[in-house]
Amino acid sequence: MRKKTKVVIELTPEEEQALKIWAAARAGEQRLVQRAKVILCSAEGLDLEEISRRSGLSPQNSSKWRKRFMVNRMDGLRDLDRPGRPPSISPERKVKVIALACTKPLDGSNSWTRSQLARKTGIGRTTVHRILTEGQLKPHKIKYWCGRSPDPEFEPKQAAILGLYLNPPANALVLSVDEKTQIQALDRTQPELPLRAGDARRLTATYRRLGTTCLLAAFAVHDGTVTGRCVARNNHQEFLKFLKYLYRKYPRKQLHIIMDNLSVHKHEDIKKWLARRRRLSVYFTPTYASWLNQVEIWFHIFTRDVIRGGIWHAKRELVRQIMHYLRMYSKERARPFKWTYTGKPLAA
């Protein structure tokens, strides 16, 4: 009986490091993982049976990849090019599809669909999808970004607001004030189907409109409480009443109110009233920068908790729920927002 010989492969440090990376990869191709294990086991001097057990390949396959490595080293572990049908889509046609996808259609649409691109270029939808994937193009998706504010006083306005957030004056109350308009009281045409195991809460797509309300809200930046009132419409008279209410509510505080540039906020009647109030200061966010106002964050929480998926049988039910939510939020959940971004500042 012929004695089995062991084949020991000597690896360079670079080859050993690369093979160990291949063998430990979880998201890589499994076949490369197995082949890397074959070579690493061969470098340890193991026989084919043990190599087969550790790599998951048969002894014949293990021997094949070991021989390939000995001839072509790392390149020998990759699959050889296989003969097949030449590509039916030329590079020029691919470039045409990609260039067309980056333009705006002439039929009034805002972006191309795969079906439209297929009809326009005479290529199948699947092939169009593959070409777009290769080019890392997604015409159906849109990302919004915050453009540069054209306000020439952006820096001083931003610095003043951030200064109030980070280092407020003594005996001062910083309030972020804004309104959420057109809150609709919607009643569904069929009863709600409640949440149950395996099924989400279900509402009919048809509804009845029972009126709208507007929420005026003031978010206290440093303790997280919210003061608000619902009004039938958003005009300067209602907003002025709300400011007067805030002024009376905090009689011994120096009020610093942050709000955006809505025309209602800058009405002449409001300007005249503000000019006569010594313990009240107003700070307007820079143009197109209402995101600096922290009440916008709270409005997102409010919309998620109250407005989304709501059912009301009358507008007064909506108003009652909103005011109850404000009271309970200030009593049980109020806390200042914490800045959690730890990355690098965005480029100016």
Q: Please say if the pLDDT value at position 348 is more than 50.
A: no
For the stretch 77-88, what's the b/e string if a residue is b when 16 or more beta carbons lie within 10 angstroms of its beta carbon?
beeeeeeeeeee
Nearest to 286 by CA among 127, 112, 110, 150: 150
pLDDT band at 306 (very low <50, low <70, confident <90, very high): very high
Strand order of the β-sheet with 254-259 is: 226-231, 207-220, 172-188, 254-259, 280-284
Residues 196-212 have a mean pLDDT of 90
pLDDT band at 5 (very low <50, low <70, confident <90, very high): low
For residue 165, the SS3 value is helix
CA angle 261, 264, 270 (to 5 degrees): 100
Name, of 8-17, 81-90, 122-131, 328-337, the range with top average pLDDT. 328-337
Q: Please say if the pLDDT value at position 115 is more than 60.
A: yes
Query: Which tens digits make up the pLDDT trace of 266-295?
Result: 999 999 999 999 999 999 999 999 999 999
Q: Please say if the pLDDT value at position 22 is more than 70.
A: yes
pTM of the predicted structure, to 2 decimals: 0.68
% residues pLDDT > 70 (the chain)? 94
> DSSP labels for 200-257?
--B--S-EEEEEEEEEEEEEETTT--EEEEEESS--HHHHHHHHHHHHHHSTTSEEEE
Query: Which tens digits make up the pLDDT trace of 36-71?
Result: 888 888 888 788 888 888 888 888 888 888 888 888
Query: Which tens digits make up the pLDDT trace of 165-185?
Result: 999 998 899 999 999 999 999
> DSSP labels for 326-344?
HHHIIIII---------SP
Q: The domain 154-191+204-333 belongs to what CATH superfamily?
A: Ribonuclease H-like superfamily/Ribonuclease H (3.30.420.10)
Q: Where are the domains of the chain?
A: 13-77, 91-134, 154-191+204-333
CA distance 247 to 174: 12
Q: Please say if the pLDDT value at position 27 is more than 50.
A: yes
The position carrying tokens 């965005």 is: 346
Can you count the helices (H) and strands (E) in the chain? 12, 5
What pLDDT does residue 148 have?
A: 83
- β pairing state of 280-284 and 254-259: parallel
Q: How many CB atoms lie within 10 A of CB 144?
A: 5
Q: Rounded to an integer, what is the distance from CA 297 to the centroid of its chain?
A: 15
